[in-house]
């Protein structure tokens, strides 16, 4: 009996549904982990991130704009998701990703696309707050800076879209969710910008990726 025959087809299908990766990649990952589906999922996530990093420099001038309305019309999201070709933009996988991220934004209310997009003012303010909190403990300066670094990492996870845990699967970040689709579709995929509106709220969120803006100029 071959190794591939020892892997239950139901496991391959389950991993395919969980990860969105091609069936062949799911089978290979399960073979590597001897049928451990969680371990195989980690393998696929790592490969997806590696693939995404290789394609990160590619220009994404195509894509689509998606919308999501939540809570009986009380919350609305407008999202531009980019890829390299119009063909990929029209695929079911890309449209599914567009919908999932729009839904996530409605639920999680991020303020920025990435950590690099956080304004200097917000960055300085948060660091000052965290540093003052840490200093109040009386710990030495080197320890205080480590505490600040840890709190800033948590801050990015809370306010930056791609660092947030995906609402449908908290074990996966939005960055990893995108990377999975990059690995499957073979093109770079980036979040260009988004806007989130809530009825009655005094403010609304509009976030744009800085690097994309610079390239557009």
> Could you read off the pLDDT of 67-101 as tens digits, one per residue?
999 978 999 999 999 999 999 999 999 999 999 99
- Residues 127 and 118: their CA atoms lie apart, in Å, by 12
Furthest CA-CA distance within the chain: 65
10 and 49 share a domain? yes
**Given 37, 54, 71, which residue is the final one in a domain?**
54
- Residues 105 and 114: their CA atoms lie apart, in Å, by 13
- 211 pLDDT band, cuts 50/70/90, is low
CATH number of the domain to which 24 belongs: 1.10.8.10
- Structural domain span for residue 23: 3-54
- Tokens read off for 103: 């839904």
- Residues 204 and 65: their CA atoms lie apart, in Å, by 18
48 and 144 share a domain? no
- Looking at residue 71, its pLDDT comes to 78
- 65 pLDDT band, cuts 50/70/90, is very high
- Residues 32 and 43: their CA atoms lie apart, in Å, by 9
Mean pLDDT computed over 1-9: 58
> Could you read off the pLDDT of 107-163 as tens digits, one per residue?
999 999 999 999 999 999 999 999 898 888 888 888 888 898 889 989 999 999 999
CA angle in degrees (0–180, nearest 5) for 115-104-159 = 25
Cβ partners under 8 Å of residue 146, min gap 6? none
Cβ partners under 8 Å of residue 163, min gap 6? 114, 115, 156, 157, 173, 174, 175
108 and 164 share a domain? yes
> Could you read off the pLDDT of 150-190 as tens digits, one per residue?
899 899 999 999 999 999 999 889 998 998 899 888 899 99
Q: What are phi and psi of 169, to 5 degrees?
A: -155, 95
29 and 98 share a domain? no
- Looking at residue 50, its pLDDT comes to 60
Count: domains in the chain = 3
- 4 pLDDT band, cuts 50/70/90, is very low
- DSSP letter at 198 equals E
């Amino acid at each position: 009996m071959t190794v591939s025959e020892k892997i239950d087809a139901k496991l391959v299908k389950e991993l395919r549904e969980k990860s969105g990766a091609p069936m062949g990649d799911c089978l290979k990952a399960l073979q590597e982990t001897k049928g451990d589906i969680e371990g195989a999922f980690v393998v696929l996530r790592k490969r997806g991130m590696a693939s995404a990093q290789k394609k990160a420099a590619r220009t994404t001038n195509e894509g689509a704009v998606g919308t999501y309305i939540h809570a009986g019309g009380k919350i609305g999201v407008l999202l531009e998701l980019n890829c390299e070709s119009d063909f990929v933009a029209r695929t079911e996988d890309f449209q599914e990703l567009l919908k999932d991220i729009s839904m996530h934004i409605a639920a999680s209310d991020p303020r920025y696309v990435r950590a690099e997009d956080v304004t200097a003012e917000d960055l300085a303010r948060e660091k000052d707050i965290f540093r003052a909190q840490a200093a109040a403990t009386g710990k030495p300066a080197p320890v205080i800076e480590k505490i600040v670094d840890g709190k800033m990492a948590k801050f990015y996870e809370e306010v930056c879209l791609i660092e947030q845990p995906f609402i449908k699967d908290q074990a996966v970040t939005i960055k990893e969710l995108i990377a999975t689709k990059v690995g499957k579709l073979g093109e770079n995929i980036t979040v260009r910008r988004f806007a989130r509106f809530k009825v009655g709220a005094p403010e609304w969120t509009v976030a744009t990726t800085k690097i994309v803006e610079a390239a557009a100029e």
